[in-house]
Amino acid sequence: MNYAAILAGGTGRRMGGSIPKQFMKLCGVPIIILTIRRVLSVFEFDRLIIAVHPEWEEHLYNLITEYSIVDNRISIIHGGIERLDTVLNVVAAIERNAVISDEDCIVIHDAVRPFVSQSILKNSLEALKQHDAVVAALPAVDTMLWCDTFPYVTSMPNRNKLFYGQAPDSFRLKALNRALSELTEEEKKQITGTAQICMLKGVPIFTIPGDKRNIKIITVAEDLYYATFLYHGENGL
């Protein structure tokens, strides 16, 4: 079974809006709807689990109806307080309905990355045939600075060995579940990204090529301006 999960549990309003950023509109369409459409376009996925904050669950259902998304692969669950809690909720939702097998895989994506390509999603599934954990990545192109005592520069790492990580993060479900169960309380406090769960437990993480267009709309208005440019380009506007 191939599972997809979209993490939309945050309520952050760092972009200055009155609603969480995943529900803000990009060229008239909510960002989360664009992301859902992208994921559903990959027919290799058997199920799509969307984790949303309880306060916004009804709003998400209404949007799915408003934008005529009819797909029985979709299920909506509650997200957690932190990203790790949301991932745990996703895995628990899967286990409530099925026994996890050796072949089961999951591709976990951010709701605020609406330009993820079909090729990244399909390549993630393909790579999971041989690897337990997979992440999309782009080579670093800027000079990278290491600052132990910011704002002073301690060193300049060799960027040839540095990459920008992108969602999705993808896993064989058994490997992810095992890593989750082995996390210590101290390790749980360190988690900022999904792939980090496996890294902390020594699971090798394989990289596939990312995409510059697979941006994360997160903090500043410039993200929306650039996203609008991408949207117009992809839709011939």
HEC secondary structure over 66-91: HCCCCCCCEEEEECCCCHHHHHHHHH
Percent of the chain with pLDDT over 70: 93
Tell which residue, 100, 87, 99, has the closest CA to residue 49: 87
Where does 2-234 sit in CATH, by number? 3.90.550.10
User: Cα(151)–Cα(146) distance, rounded to whole angstroms?
Assistant: 10
Write the burial class of residue 176 (CB in 10 Å: 0-12 exposed, 13-18 middle, 19+ buried): buried
**Chain segment 146-169, per-residue pLDDT in tens:** 999 999 999 999 999 999 999 999
Percent of the chain with pLDDT over 90: 81
Name the band, by pLDDT with cuts 50, 70 and 90, for residue 235. Answer: confident
Report pTM.
0.91
Least confident among 1-5, 25-29, 37-41: 25-29
User: Cα(131)–Cα(207) distance, rounded to whole angstroms?
Assistant: 10
Average pLDDT value over all residues in the chain = 92
Q: Taking residues 37-63, what's their average pLDDT?
A: 97
Kindly tell me if the per-residue pLDDT of 14 is higher than 50.
no
Q: Taking residues 78-87, what's their average pLDDT?
A: 94
Omega within 30 of 0 (cis) for the link into 20: no
Look up residue 163 and give its two tokens. 């990459």
Element (H, E) at 93: helix 83-97
Name the band, by pLDDT with cuts 50, 70 and 90, for residue 40. Answer: very high
- Those residues whose C-beta lies under 8 Å from the C-beta of residue 49, and which sit 6 or more positions away, are 3, 4, 5, 6, 75, 76, 77, 90, 93, 94
Q: Taking residues 190-196, what's their average pLDDT?
A: 91
Q: What pLDDT does residue 218 have?
A: 76
User: Cα(156)–Cα(173) distance, rounded to whole angstroms?
Assistant: 37
